């Protein structure tokens, strides 16, 4: 029987990295006399599944790329799952949600994550409540899509309004006049606490991401997690959002990580380029027993048709 297109592309990608694909990138057991043969009878660590964010095919570049197109491309390129960016969805009707779920399942893909935008760093209680309500609604959307985890932000001061300007400032902005980080921690903790019962009800783990604002500091994320000790609040770990000395910071959060968003920059980054050592990152995550999804966020200037498959080969190499 001839292999289907997805199987062929997956095997081709893995072969390019020097791996032989058995299932999703597993390695064959060593033969007698080979290095590692003495461990052949022991349980082997599972390879991490590799997903791709729909953001990788769009990147806020012009009109939103349809989620359906992203699912089809992910399947053709040999990914295991798709992470959906909420802002990229054309609507929120139940029929649309179920059509996406059916399309992914038919293509042999998991819907492995849901990324939303919200901001709890504001002194205005009405604004915070609007973002709490938005978060609650998005937990329900993730539940209907059958997605088990949702990216959450702390938010930021918004004293630098333009994201391009924020990136030029390396993600660091002044605090709002008259307020302190202690105020911000209280706003964030109180807001997330309101969302925890819904997360538990729907079985959707909220993953607090290192995504600018308070969350530029891994200790700040850990402080929030300690204040809200719940299995329904963990970490979405973004490899590209610690712009200086990332590895020790990534290690601090590795034990609480539920999903990894892995940045790549083929063709040079849109806002910045990091030379990330994925062998080192993979070793950090293995050291903390992480066996979950690695979700690609491609931020390079190459076309997704070129940069995304290269990124998949890179991630397979290090996480398989």
Residue 79 placed within a domain: yes
Residue 22 placed within a domain: no
Residue 223 placed within a domain: yes
Which regions of 6-155 does DSSP assign to beta strands (E)? 50-53, 81-85, 110-115, 149-152
Residue 82 gets which letter from DSSP? E
Residue 105 placed within a domain: yes
Which regions of 64-200 does DSSP assign to beta strands (E)? 81-85, 110-115, 149-152
Q: In this prediction, what percent of the chain has a pLDDT beyond 70?
A: 86
Element (H, E) at 141: helix 125-145
Residue 235 belongs to a domain with what CATH number? 3.20.20.150
Residue 27 placed within a domain: no
Query: Are 261 and 293 a contacting pair, CB within 8 Å?
Result: no
Average pLDDT over the chain, rounded to an integer: 90
Strands 233-238 and 205-209: parallel
- The per-residue pLDDT for range 45-101, each reduced to its tens digit, is 789 999 999 999 999 888 999 999 999 999 999 999 999 999 999 999 999 999 999
Query: Are 237 and 263 a contacting pair, CB within 8 Å?
Result: no
Chain centroid to Cα 1, Å, comes to 36
Which residue, among 3, 37, 47, has the nearest Cα to 282 in the 3D structure? 47
Residue 132 placed within a domain: yes
Query: Are 217 and 208 a contacting pair, CB within 8 Å?
Result: no
pLDDT (0 to 100) of residue 46: 85
pLDDT at 316 over 60: yes
- Of 74-83, 153-162, 182-191, 310-319, the poorest mean pLDDT is in 153-162
- The per-residue pLDDT for range 233-256, each reduced to its tens digit, is 999 999 999 999 999 999 999 999
Query: Are 247 and 280 a contacting pair, CB within 8 Å?
Result: yes
Q: How is 25-67 classified by DSSP, letter by letter?
A: TBPPPPPTTSTTGGGTTSPPPPPPPEEEEGGGGTTT-SSPPPH
Q: How is 166-185 classified by DSSP, letter by letter?
A: HHHTTT--PPPTT--HHHHH
Residue 35 placed within a domain: no
* Whole-angstrom distance, CA of residue 311 vs CA of residue 265: 9
pLDDT at 33 over 70: no
Residue 300 placed within a domain: yes
* Domain boundaries, position 280: 5-13+47-319
Residues in the chain: 320
* Whole-angstrom distance, CA of residue 132 vs CA of residue 119: 9
Distances (CA, A) of 1 to 4, 26, 78, 205: 9, 22, 19, 40
- The per-residue pLDDT for range 124-181, each reduced to its tens digit, is 999 999 999 999 999 999 999 999 999 999 999 999 999 899 999 998 999 999 999 9
- Work out how many domains the chain is built from and give that number: 1
């Amino acid at each position: 029987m001839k292999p289907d297109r997805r199987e062929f592309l997956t095997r081709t990608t893995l072969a390019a990295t020097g791996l032989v694909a058995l299932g999703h990138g597993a390695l064959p057991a060593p033969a007698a006399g080979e290095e590692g043969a003495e461990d052949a009878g022991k349980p082997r660590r599972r390879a991490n599944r590799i997903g791709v964010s729909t953001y990788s095919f769009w990147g806020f570049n012009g009109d939103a790329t349809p989620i359906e197109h992203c699912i089809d491309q992910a399947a053709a390129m040999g990914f295991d799952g798709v992470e959906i960016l909420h802002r990229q969805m054309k609507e929120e009707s139940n029929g649309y949600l179920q059509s996406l779920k059916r399309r992914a399942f038919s293509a042999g893909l998991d819907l492995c994550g849901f990324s939303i935008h919200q901001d709890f760093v504001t002194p205005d209680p009405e604004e915070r409540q609007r973002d709490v309500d938005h978060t609650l609604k998005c937990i329900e959307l993730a539940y209907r899509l059958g997605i088990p985890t949702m990216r959450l932000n702390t938010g930021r001061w918004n004293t630098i309004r333009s994201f391009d300007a924020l990136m030029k400032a390396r993600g660091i902005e002044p605090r709002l006049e008259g307020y302190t980080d202690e105020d911000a921690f209280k706003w964030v903790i109180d807001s997330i606490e309101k969302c925890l019962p819904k997360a538990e009800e729907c079985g959707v783990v909220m993953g607090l991401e290192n995504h600018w604002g308070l969350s530029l500091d891994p200790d700040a994320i850990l402080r929030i997690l300690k204040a809200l000790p719940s299995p329904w609040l963990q970490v979405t770990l973004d490899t590209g959002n610690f712009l200086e000395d990332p590895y020790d910071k990534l290690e601090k959060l590795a034990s609480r990580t539920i999903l990894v968003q892995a940045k790549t920059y083929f063709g040079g980054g849109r806002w910045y380029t990091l030379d990330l050592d994925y062998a080192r990152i993979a070793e950090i995550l293995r050291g903390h027993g992480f066996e979950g999804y690695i979700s690609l966020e491609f931020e390079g200037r190459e076309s997704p048709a070129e940069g995304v498959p290269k990124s998949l080969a890179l991630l397979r190499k290090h996480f398989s």
